[in-house]
Amino acid sequence: MGVNEIVLRYGFNPHQVPARLFRQKGELPFRVLNGSPGYINMLDALNSWQLVRELKRNLALPAAASFKHVSPAGAAVGIPLSDALKKSYFVDDVEMSPLSTAYARARGADRVSSYGDWAALSDTVDVPTARLINREVSDGVIAPGYEGKALEILSRKKNGRYAVIEMDPGYEPEKLETREVFGIQLEQARNNLEITSDMLKNIVTENKELSASAERDLIVVTTTIKYTQSNTIGFAVDGQAIGIGAGQQSRIHCTRLAGEKADRWFLRQHPTILDFKWRKGVGRPEKNNAIDLYLEQNPTDIEQKILQNALEKVPPRLSVKERGDWMCTMAGVSLSSDAFMPFRDTIDRAHQSGVKYLVQAGNSLRDEEVIKACDDYGMVMAFSGIRLFHH
C-alpha cells in the first residue's frame, strides 16, 4: 500500500521513544486513514484483525472484536439481538446492521473492560457500525474498508485523533515469525491452525449431542482464546464470548475469572437492572460502572454514593435467592480451554455458570476424572488434541 514503515507515538510507555513499525521486505499491508496509532494500538490491531478474519472465514458471518492490552475483552459474530440484550448493550435506540450487531455483542461481553478498546471488524464498516463506535470510548478501529460516510464519522471522533486503519484483506504473512526479547531473537512457525468443527469430532463424554448452535459457539470461543494471552478459559453463548479469563498462571483461576465475567454478563439482563431509572445526563461509561457496583454484594459508602448519583432511586440489592434463581436459568453455555484441564475443579466451576458444551486439548493425567465430572453434569466434551497458547 505504498510504505514499509510508520513512526509510532511511543512504545509501551511514553518514555519509550523512538518507536516505529516496519517490514524488512515489502510494503505494509494496511493504511492509516486517520489518527496516529501507538505501539500497543498496533499490537491490538494486528491481533484483533486475525481473530475477526478467521471467524468470518470459518462461520461466514460478520465478526467483531473488542481488544484491550493485546487480549479480547469480547468477540462475536452478527447474530440478531434479543430485546433484553439490546437494552443491556444500550443499543435499543439505534439502527443496527449485521456488522454493528457483531460489534455490539463484542463490546457487550464486558463493557467495563472494553472502555477505551481497539475495535476490529471483518467487513467494510457501514454507517450503523460507525455510529455505534462513535458513541463509545474507543482508541481505534481496523477493518478491510469503510463506507465514505462511515469514514467521515470516525475521522471526527476524538477531535480528529481517532485511529482508523484499513487492512488489506488479501494479506498473508510469512510462515515463520520472529520477535526480539532483551536483544535476543526468537523464531517459530506461525500459528496457522484453523479453528473448525473438525476439532469437535472426538467427543469423549457419555452425552454426545452437540447442537449446531453449540458447535458455532465453540468455534467462536476457541478462535477468541487463540488470540488471548495464556493461560486462557473462555465462555460463549449465542454467537459471542461472554467471559474470558486471560493471562492467569492457574487454569482454575482463569475459569473463575471467566465465570465471574459470564455471570455478570447474564446478571446485567436481570429485569431489575434493565429497569434502572438513570438520572439525566449520566453517560454509558458511568452506567456500566454503576451496574458493576450494584452487582457487588457489600458496597462501600463511596460506591453506594456513586450509585445514588447515577440512579434516580437505587433498588434493593438482589438477594442471594434472587441471584440464584436467575442464574439457574443460564444454560447452554460453551467453554473452551487453550490447554488440557488438569483437575475437575474447572468443570465444577463451569457448571455454576450454565456450561453444557466444552472443548479442550485433553491428554492430562486426570482425563478420566475430568470426563467423569462432565458426565456427572450431563455435559458434552470434545478433545481437540490441540494446545493454543498465545504470548
What are the domain boundaries of the chain?
Answer: 5-172, 190-267+327-383, 271-317
% of the chain exceeding 90 in pLDDT: 96
Residues in the chain: 391
Residues 6 or more apart whose CB falls under 8 angstroms from that of 153 comprise 127, 130, 131, 134
Residue 232 near residue 246 (C-beta atoms within 8 A): yes
**Residue 341: how many CA atoms within 13 Å on its side-chain side?**
32
Give the angle subtended at the CA of 8 by the CAs of 7 and 11, to the nearest 5°. Answer: 135
- pLDDT value, residue 1: 47
- Listed residue (242, 260, 263) closest to 252, CA to CA: 260
Q: Residue 144 has what DSSP assignment? A: S
Topology of domain 5-172, CATH: Cytidine Deaminase; domain 2 (3.40.140)
Kind of pairing, strands 333-337 and 232-237?
Answer: antiparallel
Q: Checking DSSP bridges between strand 63-68 and strand 117-121, what pairing results, if any?
A: antiparallel
- Output the furthest CA–CA distance in the chain (Å, rounded): 62
Answer yes or no: same fold for 5-172 and 190-267+327-383: yes
Residue 69: active-site member? yes
What pLDDT, on the 0 to 100 scale, is given for residue 300?
87
H or E, element range at 30:
strand 30-34
With a CB cutoff of 8 Å and minimum separation 6, the contacts of 336 are: 218, 221, 222, 224, 225, 233, 234, 236, 358, 359, 360
- For residue 86, the number of C-alpha atoms closer than 13 Å in the C-beta half-sphere is 12
Alpha carbons 56 and 11: distance in angstroms, whole number: 31
Q: Please confirm, yes or no, whether 158 is among the known catalytic residues.
A: no
Candidate list 34, 58, 68, 87, residue with the active-site label: 68
**CB-CB neighbours of 30 under 10 Å:** 22
Any idea of the CA torsion for 145, 195, 51, 371, to the nearest 10 degrees?
150
149 is a catalytic site residue = no
Q: Is 80 exposed, middle or buried (0-12, 13-18, 19+ CB in 10 A)?
A: exposed
Given the residues 69, 253, 287, 390, select the one marked as catalytic: 69
d(CA 336, CA 195): 12
Given the residues 231, 289, 351, 356, the one annotated as active site: 231
Distance CA 148, CA 131 (A): 13
CA distance 159 to 125: 20
Q: Is-catalytic flag, 253? A: no
Distances in Å between the alpha carbon of 7 and those of 77, 178, 364, 380? 33, 20, 46, 49
Is residue 74 within 8 Å of 240, Cβ to Cβ? yes
Q: Report the predicted TM-score, pTM, of the whole model to 2 decimal places.
A: 0.95
State the 10-residue block means of pLDDT for the chain, 391 residues long.
Answer: 85 95 93 96 97 97 97 97 96 96 97 96 98 97 98 97 97 94 95 95 98 98 97 97 95 96 97 97 94 89 92 94 96 97 95 97 94 98 96 92
State phi, psi for 293 to the nearest 5 degrees.
-70, -35
Architecture of the domain delimited by 190-267+327-383:
3-Layer(aba) Sandwich (3.40)
